[in-house]
Structure 1
Amino acid sequence: MKLINKSEISGGLLQEIESVIERGSDHHIFELIATRVEETGYRYCKEIRKTGSTDGMLRVQFRTVPDLCRALLRASCSTELLGDGRRSFQEFGYMVDCSRNAVPQIDTLKQLVKFLALMGYSYLGLYLEDTIEIEKEPYLGWMRGGYTKKEIKELVFFAEIFGIEIRPYVQTLAHLNQITRYEQYQEFIDTDDILLVGDERTYRFLDRYLQSVSEAFSSKKINIGMDEAHMVGLGKYLDQHGFRNRIDIMLEHLERVVKICRKYGLLPQMWSDMFFRLAYGGKYYVEGERKRVKVKIPKGLDLVYWDYYSTNETHYEEMIEMHQSMTDRLCFASGAWKWTGFAAQNRYSEEVGRAALHACQHQQISDVVVTGWGDDGGEASVFSVLPALFADARVAYKDRIEESAFYSLTAMPVHVFLSADLSNFDDGLLDLCEKRRNKKQTALKEESQTRLDEKTQKPICRNNTGKF
């Protein structure tokens, strides 16, 4: 499909996605009339009417630029004259790991931004431990490919074309293992990779850290980490202060970190396991248990429930309900499995994502992120989980976008792309996947027939005028 822009939308946007749109199965030349509206999601209508050098008009109503991008992708891959979709989540993002010995180049992240926008994602998170250059901290990012402020600003500027927000994901307590090799940081390391709570050197460091992050990113939303600090208070802190309840130690530290965030106008969120373990007797994944302790969560702090493992929708719904008993500011993080080796686990990720996102839809979670960790050293490509991200976006929008849209995105059919996953499977698992694929195809055929039989569907265009 070729487009002649007759709208006020950025010509730069259409130029960036032109090759993707032209790869679709619809080969018409349309005048594009795109209108921003208050209603969430998108609606489009193709008006086939040969006039001069064009075959008609493509009218699109959209709320956000990613909605528009997804509408154009879907329209280019479908012969249907009408289409609509509404993202279930107010904020829907992907987080890429930039700290596990595989720091993506800015051009790589730009390509990822383009993919995400066309699938309808609204933000990209960058997980940064020490891989960002901080003023007066020369060892942060040194020989590790750390991003400069200029590079991050370049990415932020590019992402704005697509309506994609770039968000920082950092660590402010644990998981800072790369800096422990340097003597100057050892002075305020408690134990392992955990900062020494209560030491003013810790907070001077975090102040410079968060100040630099706030200056590099235009987004005010920041994930401050604070997860899996199981040994906090058991190293230097124990020697200096004796044994204390570690939850009290973490809460004191959290208050200091939140205060620094507010100083720089940042809106913090953190992983939820610290508070959940406190409330539910030290466990993070529980079934049918009652909250044991009432927890006090700092005002204005969002909690992110992370879970990458279950394919059981009920499990997620129960865990979400338990989290909601602690806070009304809850986000969710699923996972696109690229952290177990050179090949991603797209099929498993799709099963996990479907169950998790359906639960989030039922529980009305407004902010959902898919995480792409690199625990094993980042062997798998940033792009290796595109099939999982495509599948998650289909669940989020519920718009029946054609599978051929994946080919438009990548110039590769999805079943060919998924062959990279085969090294993860034995024959039994492959048979199971084939059965599920056949079942899915049968369901899609039945759904398509049902749609043909529906006679009461209200059109979004009237009298073939192209007006909504």
Structure 2
Amino acid sequence: MFERRAYMLDISRDRVPTRDTLEWLADALAALGFNEIQLYVEHTYAYTDHKTVWEGASPLTADDLRWLDRVCEVRGIDLVGNMNCFGHMGRWLAHERYRGLAECPEGAPALFGSGAMPPGCLAPTVENAAFGVALARELARSIRSRRLHIGGDEPFELGEGVSASDVAERGRETVYIEHLSRIIAPLVDDGYEVMFWADQFRRDRSLVSRIPQGAIPVVWNYEAPSDSGWMSFLPTELIDRLGLPEDMHLGFESHARLFIEAGKPFWVAPGTSSWNTLIGRNVNAAANIADAVAVGTSYGSPGFLLTDWGDNGHFQPLAVSLPSMVRGGAAASGAPIDDEAEVAQRIDELLGCEKGVGALIDRLGCIGEELGMVSPNSSPIFTSLCSIGIPGFGEPDPAGVAHGMEILSEARERFSQPIGGPRGPVVAAEMAAVCQFAELGLRRLAAEHGLDVKAPVARDFDEAVQAQRAAWLLSSRPGGLDDSIDKLIGQSAAG
């Protein structure tokens, strides 16, 4: 059993939960054995004097956090602030007021290939470190916990702009760890244990010994251990830019190796694998969670953090993540659940609904993995509708497509009917809407590969959008809805 069993929900990729949803989530996490929740923030917290960034996003406020902290305390859960103040700052840097803080104010090099992407990383300056510390302190003031997560992951542009000469002279790793330390040290002095993402510590042993006192690295990895097959589909330059270990297919053992060799404590962070999928990627998630638990317990990790990201519009509702939440909570508590029927039963109990809903949700989350395609960090069902991210590789298996269409048809019929329990109407509407999009994605995928399946047309997308809009507002705030819809439909409607 891990001492700290945490769940992290991304609230920065458009979907910000209502208070009702957050209270239900706290109940569910407590029932599953979690004792910590983190809400990942980029631009969706109402920071004082920064209205330009969060206006229109329906952000959480300080009053929301104080309320949620009380809700969590009653349930034996710690609420921990989780934010970013180095990379992943694109929502800030999109505004003229903050553009001058960027490493590459005029745009950053694309992750691979030619072209550019909008600025997303702050320059590693003393002033920017102070800016990040101020944001962290403000977020933390409304929460009891003396632990704080400051991000620090994926500063892709580092060394490509403002810091280019410094990086050339002293090395990217040195510039990175010095800036991270400038953020961490004042917060440690404030009495916080400071968590940070450890992806920049996968290749360079020299960095591990330079981690500031009072800081705890969080090793994340979202792919299950496998043979090296899927790695061959990734461009070498992308692997280099991401700083991935050469044997990353081995799972957490490779991602945490430098900490293991140094005897440095670290947390493990697998994922629900629900993002970029619409309906889940549950086979991968189950194996990814089991791998994280095995490596974490073998090397005495003090914490387990199940991440639930919302990349590219956060189309998936919370119900899609429930199978992984059940498996993650049980495994981190030292009593893993391998029986699918038991997982399904726990989902039904959490939703307070009749038997069968949980089994259907779990089964939906396996469709994309039964198509015979390779699709890391996503499902080909989703990427057929959205060109952002890594596409699916290979040809879809006709039998897998046919079986997937059968399950989706069954699900759409089931979720069009009333579901019992207080969450029943929300779950029914959200799952019906996301299944509608998943069916369009599967149809488009099949049609593009020459299978005898009717390709979706504009009217199909219009109907799916209306269903998604109505369902979204049952559990989430309105601020990011249009932005979410635009991410998918901007790519889909033309097809």
Q: Does the TM-score normalized on the shorter chain lie above 0.5?
A: yes
Partner of 2:59: 146
Shift of 1:257: 0.3
| Aligned residue type for 2:364 | A
Partner of 2:293: 357
Q: 1:167 aligns to what SS in structure 2?
A: strand
Partner of 2:139: 213
Partner of 1:170: 83
- What does 1:371-410 correspond to in 2, within 5 Å? 371-399=307-335, 402-403=342-343, 404-410=345-351
Query: Is contact 1:127–1:169 with CA below 8 Å preserved after alignment?
Result: yes
Q: Which runs of 5+ in 2 are unaligned?
A: 105-118, 227-248, 373-396, 404-495
Shift of 1:150: 0.2
CA 1:408–1:265: 2 relative to 1, 3 Å: same
CA 1:156–1:250: 2 relative to 1, 3 Å: same
| Aligned residue type for 2:29 | L
Match status 1:254 vs 2:180: yes
Shift of 1:131: 1.1
| 2:121 maps to which of 179, 194, 208 | 194
Decide which structure has the larger Cα Rg and report it.
1
Q: How far, CA to CA, are the matches of 2:366 and 2:74 in structure 1?
A: 36
Q: How far, CA to CA, are the matches of 2:103 and 2:250 in structure 1?
A: 39
CA 1:379–1:395: 2 relative to 1, 3 Å: same
Shift of 1:259: 2.5
Q: 1:270 aligns to what SS in structure 2?
A: strand
Shift of 1:348: 2.2
Shift of 1:90: 0.4
Query: Is contact 2:252–2:291 with CA below 8 Å preserved after alignment?
Result: yes
Q: How far, CA to CA, are the matches of 1:425 and 1:240 in structure 2?
A: 45
| 2:195 maps to which of 259, 263, 269 | 269
Query: Is contact 1:141–1:147 with CA below 8 Å preserved after alignment?
Result: no
| Aligned residue type for 1:206 | G
Describe the superposition over 1:120-143 as per-residue Cα deviations: whole angstroms up to 9, x where unpaired. 111111110121111222223221
| 2:222 maps to which of 308, 315, 332 | 308
Q: 2:203 aligns to what SS in structure 1?
A: helix
Partner of 2:13: 100
Q: How far, CA to CA, are the matches of 1:317 and 1:240 in structure 2?
A: 33
Shift of 1:337: 0.7
Provide the TM-score with structure 2 as the length reference: 0.62
Q: How far, CA to CA, are the matches of 2:261 and 2:336 in structure 1?
A: 34
CA 1:264–1:418: 2 relative to 1, 3 Å: same
CA 1:195–1:238: 2 relative to 1, 3 Å: same
CA 1:184–1:243: 2 relative to 1, 3 Å: farther
Shift of 1:240: 8.8
Q: How far, CA to CA, are the matches of 1:122 and 1:241 in structure 2?
A: 40
Q: How far, CA to CA, are the matches of 1:427 and 1:228 in structure 2?
A: 31
Match status 1:227 vs 2:153: yes
Match status 1:370 vs 2:306: yes
Partner of 1:329: 265
Match status 1:417 vs 2:358: no
Q: How far, CA to CA, are the matches of 2:166 and 2:285 in structure 1?
A: 45
Q: What do you get for the CA RMSD once the two structures are aligned?
A: 2.6
Seq. identity, %: 22
Describe the superposition over 1:33-72 as per-residue Cα deviations: whole angstroms up to 9, x where unpaired. xxxxxxxxxxxxxxxxxxxxxxxxxxxxxxxxxxxxxxxx
Q: How far, CA to CA, are the matches of 2:198 and 2:143 in structure 1?
A: 24
Partner of 2:417: none
Q: 2:330 aligns to what SS in structure 1?
A: helix
Q: How far, CA to CA, are the matches of 1:220 and 1:322 in structure 2?
A: 27
Higher helix share: 2
Q: 1:379 aligns to what SS in structure 2?
A: coil
Partner of 1:245: 171
Q: 2:315 aligns to what SS in structure 1?
A: coil
Q: 1:259 aligns to what SS in structure 2?
A: helix
Describe the superposition over 1:270-303 as per-residue Cα deviations: whole angstroms up to 9, x where unpaired. 1112123322xxxxxxxxxxxx777421111111
Q: How far, CA to CA, are the matches of 1:349 and 1:397 in structure 2?
A: 17
Partner of 1:65: none
| Aligned residue type for 1:301 | A
Q: How far, CA to CA, are the matches of 1:135 and 1:118 in structure 2?
A: 35
Partner of 1:134: 47
| Aligned residue type for 1:420 | L
Q: How far, CA to CA, are the matches of 1:242 and 1:351 in structure 2?
A: 40
Higher strand share: 1
Shift of 1:311: 3.2
CA 1:319–1:96: 2 relative to 1, 3 Å: same
Shift of 1:400: 7.2
Query: Is contact 1:102–1:378 with CA below 8 Å preserved after alignment?
Result: yes
Shift of 1:260: 2.8
Shift of 1:190: 1.1
Shift of 1:399: 4.0
Query: Is contact 1:314–1:359 with CA below 8 Å preserved after alignment?
Result: no
Number of positions where the alignment pairs a residue of Structure 1 with one of Structure 2: 332
| Aligned residue type for 1:223 | H
Describe the superposition over 1:145-186 as per-residue Cα deviations: whole angstroms up to 9, x where unpaired. 211100111111111111011111111211010011211111
Query: Is contact 1:93–1:123 with CA below 8 Å preserved after alignment?
Result: yes
Q: How far, CA to CA, are the matches of 1:243 and 1:139 in structure 2?
A: 36
| Aligned residue type for 2:34 | Y
Partner of 2:443: none
Partner of 2:460: none
Q: How far, CA to CA, are the matches of 2:123 and 2:254 in structure 1?
A: 35
